[in-house]
Structure 1
Amino acid sequence: MSTLQISLAIIGGLVLAGVVAYNAWVTRKSVPRLARERSAHGPDDATGDETVPYSPEDLTGHEIQRIDPVLGDMPGASTQPDPAAIAVAAAAVHVNPLLHQPERRPNLDALIDVITPLVLDHEVSGDALLAALPGTRRVGSKPFAVEGLCDATGEWETPRLGQRYRALQAGVQLANRAGALNDIEFSEFVVKAQAFADAVGAAPEFPDMRAEVARARELDAFASGHDAQLGFTLRARRAAWSPGYVAQHAAKLGFVAGALPGRMVLSGSESGQAPILSLVFDPQAAMAEDPEQSALREVALSLEVTHVPRSEQPFVRMRQAAKALAEAMDGVVTDDAGQPLSNDTMDGIGADLESLYDALDSRDLSAGSPQARRLFS
């Protein structure tokens, strides 16, 4: 073999090796980042792999640092919640027990309900009231409820077995996200309440329909102008993420698995309170046969503004969570159109939120209150 042939063979081998190495590098870059166990190096060991996040034991007990807060129709941010709902796959996260505690239903409130007294001339047992309740607790698109004044506690409550009640009232909600109570729904309420009253021997005292429908329209107009659902999108800059990789980083910020595939939540400080934040990604990726091979290019961070008390500083924590996740996972925080959100835009959203909270407070519909959560639902 001549020297030329040997040289060409060597060059060809080097080119082939370079192509193989390049393809391997591209393939490695395109593989979703995975959730992994802690490396053998200590936390302060500079030789440790910074991309190896946490062991399962590290995933609880962490809170986002709070800072002073800084909405409405906000520029650069999504005002619609992501409809997808998602739980974690393949990552060892602990489900917050607060998520599984039953929430106590708020009482009827004249602020957001039509309330009709049902006058009794004798006490009635809870057993009889429950037997007489209608099969459906809705009037059109509005919730319908019956409450009794409990003889034992002296408080209004949903009828219970074994209790006795000396007064009754029926109610229907004036407005919700489906709109204001209308004439037809009010008439349905009258029919349903009258049938219940006849069954238990009570006499209903219905308010004027026109006045209540007008009140419903006014409340709905206020609610329509002060409803807010805020969303950020976190997009991968380069390598995609696996569901477990996202879950481990979110868990370090206090997020726990939600009830549905592809959803994590940051729980409130009190039992029965709505989640402060939701983190959602493709539920199909979470339910895949091998979730760690699922590639996520984006996740959504959302806040139901009217459902979370101002005292929880939800926007501050949302902003912190978005920044922390973007830094940890090499992502960028954008609006739903893919435009990065600047600090100035974030500051503007925070200022608008404070104005919204003030307006809700002025109507005794403070964000996170039972009345606000019912109205904005």
Structure 2
Amino acid sequence: MSSLQLSLAAIGALTVGAVVVYNYWTSRKHAPRQADPHRDPPLESSLNAIEPVLDADPAVSSSMTEPFEPVLQDNFTHLSQPDRKTQLDALIDVLAVIEVDQPVSGDAALAALPSTRRVGTKLFSVEGFFQVTGQWEALAAGRRYNAFQAGVQLANRVGALNNIEFSEFVVKTQAFADAIGGSASFSDMLEEVARAKELDQFASVHDAQLSFTLCARTAAWSPGYIHQHAARLGFVPGVIPGRMVLPALVQGLPAVLSITFDTHAAMAEDPDLSPIRSFALSLDVPQTAREEQPYVRLREAAVSLAAQMDGVVTDGEGQVLSEATLDQIGLDLQQLYDALDARELSAGSPQARRLFS
């Protein structure tokens, strides 16, 4: 073989080698970032965490960076346990009183309830007056009740109570009253429908679901990488793949914050090879009491995750959120809280959680 042929062969080998090395380097550079198995316990250790689910009927949004420090639980020791008193409230419900000539057992009342606890898209409930405590309460076996009240929500995130739904409410309530030998009295339909529209209009103006989008600057992230970093801030896996939640300090209340990313990536056969370039960090404002400092925690979590994961915090349109913009969102949010308080629908209250559901 001539020297020319040897030279060409050497050049060819070097070229092939360079291509192989370049392809390997490119593959490594663009591969999703992986969780570090040596820094944190395996993710499976936290899979027993369960995302809180409200008993109230589940369901507008507006998009709205110092390192994150978890808020001390001592700041929230004054928060009460989930409200287990009467659910019905004239503020957000149409109420119908059902009188009875003699006490009715809770077992009989439960048996008389309709098969579905909904009127159209609204929650339908019946409560009994327990004379021993002098309070209205959810029906329970083993009790005896001297009166009953049925109720249907005036509005929720689906919309206001309409004429058809009011009529269905009357039919269901009357059927219950007949079954227990009671007499029901109803308010005027037109007045209640008008009240529903006004409440729905207020709720629409004062509803907010804040969402930050965290975008990768360079290399994409794997689901495990997101899980690992979010878990350090207290997030746990949610019910749905591709969702993590920051639980409230009081068990049973809605999550304070949520993280959502591509469900298909989370369910992929090999999630480590599923690149994710962005995920959402969200807060459902009316569902969370301001005492939990949800916006402060949302902002700090977003900044911390962006710094740790080489990302950037943007709005839903991909615009980077400045400090001034974030400050203004915080001020606007305080005004929203004040408006809800003035209407006796404070964020995080049982009434607000039902209305904004």
**What corresponds to 1:54 in structure 2?**
40
If the length of structure 1 is used for normalisation, what is the TM-score? 0.82
**What corresponds to 2:116 in structure 1?**
136
**What corresponds to 2:76 in structure 1?**
none
**What corresponds to 1:30 in structure 2?**
30
Correspondent of 1:123 among 85, 99, 103: 103
**What corresponds to 2:17 in structure 1?**
17
1:320: how far off? 0.8
**Equivalent pair of 2:51/2:245 in contact (CA under 8 Å):** no
1:100-131 C-alpha deviation (Å, 9 max, x unpaired): 79775851001101111111121000111011
1:289: how far off? 1.7
Over 3 Å counting, the alpha-carbon distance change for 1:105 and 1:307 in structure 2 is farther
Over 3 Å counting, the alpha-carbon distance change for 1:31 and 1:350 in structure 2 is same
Correspondent of 1:249 among 223, 229, 248: 229
1:11: how far off? 4.5
3-state SS, counterpart of residue 32 of structure 1: coil
3-state SS, counterpart of residue 46 of structure 2: coil
1:343-368 C-alpha deviation (Å, 9 max, x unpaired): 11111111111110010000000011
**What corresponds to 1:363 in structure 2?**
343
Distance in 2 between the 1:10 and 1:243 partners? Answer: 43
1:277-327 C-alpha deviation (Å, 9 max, x unpaired): 010111111112222222111111111111000011111111111111111
3-state SS, counterpart of residue 22 of structure 1: helix
Given the alignment of the two structures, is residue 108 of structure 1 paired with residue 61 of structure 2, yes or no? Answer: no
**What corresponds to 2:77 in structure 1?**
none
1:136-195 C-alpha deviation (Å, 9 max, x unpaired): 111121111100012444332221111111111111111111211122221221111111
Identify which range, 2-11 or 185-194, moves more after superposition: 2-11
Distance in 2 between the 1:98 and 1:293 partners? Answer: 26
**What corresponds to 1:198 in structure 2?**
178
Given the alignment of the two structures, is residue 184 of structure 1 paired with residue 184 of structure 2, yes or no? Answer: no
Kindly report which structure 2 residues correspond to 1:141-180, keeping only aligned pairs within 5 A, or say none.
141-180=121-160
In structure 2, give the amino acid aligned to 1:25: W
Over 3 Å counting, the alpha-carbon distance change for 1:100 and 1:182 in structure 2 is closer
Q: CA RMSD in A?
A: 2.1
Over 3 Å counting, the alpha-carbon distance change for 1:92 and 1:27 in structure 2 is farther
Given the alignment of the two structures, is residue 218 of structure 1 paired with residue 171 of structure 2, yes or no? Answer: no
**Equivalent pair of 2:215/2:277 in contact (CA under 8 Å):** yes
In structure 2, give the amino acid aligned to 1:54: D
**What corresponds to 1:280 in structure 2?**
260
If the length of structure 2 is used for normalisation, what is the TM-score? 0.86
1:329: how far off? 1.1
3-state SS, counterpart of residue 36 of structure 2: coil
The unaligned stretches of length 5 or more in structure 1 are: 39-52, 57-89
**Equivalent pair of 1:181/1:217 in contact (CA under 8 Å):** yes
1:29-67 C-alpha deviation (Å, 9 max, x unpaired): 1221112321xxxxxxxxxxxxxx4234xxxxxxxxxxx
Correspondent of 1:309 among 268, 289, 309: 289
**Equivalent pair of 2:86/2:136 in contact (CA under 8 Å):** no
Distance in 2 between the 1:170 and 1:340 partners? Answer: 49
Distance in 2 between the 1:290 and 1:24 partners? Answer: 20
Distance in 1 between the 2:26 and 2:45 partners? Answer: 29
3-state SS, counterpart of residue 325 of structure 1: helix
